[in-house]
Chain A
């Protein structure tokens, strides 16, 4: 969809992450759904890499999916 068309219709927003944005839109009566999300492990790459190596589908003996 062209950006122009996006703004021509009524705006409905899904806000992910900081609640501040959802609050600001809500105060202007813009329909908004907030999703509480934050980067895994606080966004720390080393910990995110560890988590990626320990997913549910990882075979315990092989150490990989």
Chain B
């Protein structure tokens, strides 16, 4: 098999992959390999000592949520003393936005890629403002998480079972024609998902139905986590093709940016996390910003987010750009990808498929790096989102990946 053959097979699997949201289950149930005192986090591996502010805040919050510590100080001491194990979400087929901290009791969206018999997982979106994924861990954050686990998760799980699952690949395709790029804009996707679930949630006739529907409706990014799990499920289906140079994950832990490549297995290729160019909320500026963070770049890896920016001109204005920038960004990403998605199409580009299958070689050859839509987190834990914009994947990741790939040829 040649490298060209391997990449064709990898892209074939990516195109053929499905993503059906089938349930909402506790992490310890669907991730049996998750240790009792283990926390998962966004991006490539990082130890407590090197974690950024928002991630440390989220770790503290997860400890309080699990009852492993009574106070934030106790939680920090527990982490410092080595009482916790940390692993990337990606090592457990999971993804989490921003800090991406996931603990054993948390409810996870379960997305199945039937074509390849695999599953992927993501937490439920908590909404905006003071939330765990930005490192907030006050009582209101913990109370919301407890309600989501106790009331929201069982209702959505029951609704999904009653509905026979929800085809996320189909919803993503439709959302792209309604102004979403499924990373920074999820207005259409959330509406479509809530519309699909609402009758089945209402049919439960028990639990906090009204609050559950109102919460999903008010959470514009409720669809984001589902889209991320869908992207992860589809990309996992094409991971591990020997000889393929296609990128199957891009993720940031707030300190480092890492990528994985189909043909180099589970190895990470990393470089320092970049700064984010964008617009800040009033009172904040670049000095307040944490470097790029979150597993949400799985969206771009699957051809969504900034790769599909031409589908979502409305959000470009939000981050200080123009509709022309949206078109140009998507067009530039075709330079570093191997295919166009057969299902995810962009009306403004005459229904051309989104750029799909980032090729490490093309990135190094052209000098064009993947662009990522992203939120900007405050560098201190708990402050929250302070803006939104674009980041660029560091070239160093792709050079290291190419070096690692070539070193493995003929071995």
Q: Which residues of A contact B (CB under 8 A)?
A: 38, 40-42, 47, 50-51, 53-65
Residue of B6, B399, B410 most packed against chain A (CB within 10 A): B410
Within 8 A of A (CB), among B1-21: 1-4, 6-7
Interface string of B375-408 (1 = CB under 8 A from A): 0000000000000000000000001001101100
Partner among B242, B399, B403 whose Cβ is within 8 Å of the Cβ of A60: B242
A38: B residues at CB distance < 8 A: 367
B3: A residues at CB distance < 8 A: 54-58, 60
Considering the complex, give the chain B residue whose CB is closest to the CB of A38.
B367
B162: A residues at CB distance < 8 A: none
Are B2 and A40 in contact, CB atoms less than 8 angstroms apart?
no
- A59 to B406: give the CA distance in the assembly, Å: 12
B364 at the interface (CB under 8 A from A): yes
Considering the complex, give the chain A residue whose CB is closest to the CB of B263.
A60
Partner among B1, B4, B402, B411 whose Cβ is within 8 Å of the Cβ of A50: B402
**Given A47-B364, A47-B399, does the pair A54, B6 have CB atoms closer than 8 Å?**
no
B365 at the interface (CB under 8 A from A): yes
Q: For chain B, give the interface size range.
A: 20 to 34
Are B406 and A53 in contact, CB atoms less than 8 angstroms apart?
yes
B191: A residues at CB distance < 8 A: none
Considering the complex, give the chain B residue whose CB is closest to the CB of A48.
B365
Min C-beta distance of B90 to chain A, whole Å: 24
B361: A residues at CB distance < 8 A: 51, 54
Partner among B1, B367, B399, B402 whose Cβ is within 8 Å of the Cβ of A54: B402
- A65 to B367: give the CA distance in the assembly, Å: 25
Min C-beta distance of A51 to chain B, whole Å: 6
Considering the complex, give the chain B residue whose CB is closest to the CB of A42.
B367
B409 at the interface (CB under 8 A from A): yes
Q: Which residues of B contact A (CB under 8 A)?
A: 1-4, 6-7, 242-243, 245, 263, 361, 364-365, 367, 399, 402-403, 405-406, 409-411
Min C-beta distance of A54 to chain B, whole Å: 5
Interface of A (DSSP majority class): loop
- A65 to B409: give the CA distance in the assembly, Å: 11
- A57 to B243: give the CA distance in the assembly, Å: 11
- A65 to B2: give the CA distance in the assembly, Å: 8
A62: B residues at CB distance < 8 A: 410
Are A61 and B1 in contact, CB atoms less than 8 angstroms apart?
yes
Min C-beta distance of A31 to chain B, whole Å: 26
Are A41 and B243 in contact, CB atoms less than 8 angstroms apart?
no
Are A41 and B406 in contact, CB atoms less than 8 angstroms apart?
no
A selection of 23 A-B contacts at a CB cut-off of 8 Å is A42-B367, A47-B364, A47-B399, A47-B402, A50-B364, A50-B402, A50-B406, A51-B361, A53-B406, A54-B405, A54-B406, A56-B2, A56-B4, A56-B7, A57-B2, A58-B3, A60-B3, A60-B6, A60-B263, A61-B1, A61-B410, A62-B410, A65-B2
